[in-house]
Structure 1
């Protein structure tokens, strides 16, 4: 089985060398929640603002379940607001079905239902904030079929949560909701020194300064800041971050 999840080296936004996946409280909760959702063959929603680690957490946890349980994960992402027709075609590709996609919706639906009933699978739907009621309803239709053996993990911004909560028929079927939030100031001091060697010996006051001025508890912003700080240290030969280097890095983020 070939994994459809992106490779580990792409986990961080800038593909930063030497960056670690840090076991935050949110990641630990996601690991438990995703495992419980798969055990129940249920649906869950990971939601929160951009850059707080939702997709990374889902990828890390699902790779582990692929490795330890042999769970087959089919990853689906949409760039724009899709229709049910687009969902059908994306699933056809993700499931690796042979031949040409059927022309008629009823025939297409039967093919997908039969395939999803053949073996247990987890569908991970990234960028789910781009889905609308029609497409969420289509995933519900597939999941509601008694013969299918699927779990579904929706990963998206606040828009995904809003659409799901607006429709009782949809929201009542979500087994677990998990909201991702920004790192707290205390978590920054605990987590960031483990995230990358650049910050190992940094003064905690400088870490707090960097978070207050630029990163604001957002992992993607910390990723960008780390890349710039790594460049600054290499160019200046200084042993650790300081306020001057931090301000230089901030200027690149403005």
Structure 2
């Protein structure tokens, strides 16, 4: 099962070159989800799209530019699937909870195919350059959005005034990383439930005393039997 979400639809009146480039990026993103950014090559994408190497090269100019395009496309789809829908929820814990729920939904599907943010961090953590910069920028934008949602929850009085927003964000991000490790690498049953329970526990710890009953309180989530 692929975790790659559908690409944004281009107008049928978009230039043919733009449509072709979008199709190449879509194919490259699907390939990168399986083999990582480092595994991408002009030749592999050309074979996958049944194009010539020169045809693919003409749209990107280098393997590095192809990789960067894939990172940017992944980020755009991540925002469309995880971030923007959460903005429909009220500021504060409703929005933060929606962001985490959307993030978990996407992460749950990526257990089978992998997350480009996580695999990319492993591949490029010690390799300075434009691809690493693109990855860092994308992840940093998302982390800033999570931090902003936590700060807004404090402003709304849903979280305690003395709650350390960065610590809360760190722990939430840690749940996603742990889920990938436990579920994708170790194949531990019940990992998704544990991640949800971990989020409930974080909110219960930092919730304001007068937070709404359905927010920031122990959710009573029960783990499925772990075998």
TM-score by length of 2: 0.32
User: 1 or 2 for the larger relative contact order (CA 8 Å, sep ≥6)?
Assistant: 1
TM-score by length of 1: 0.30
Larger % of helix: which? 2
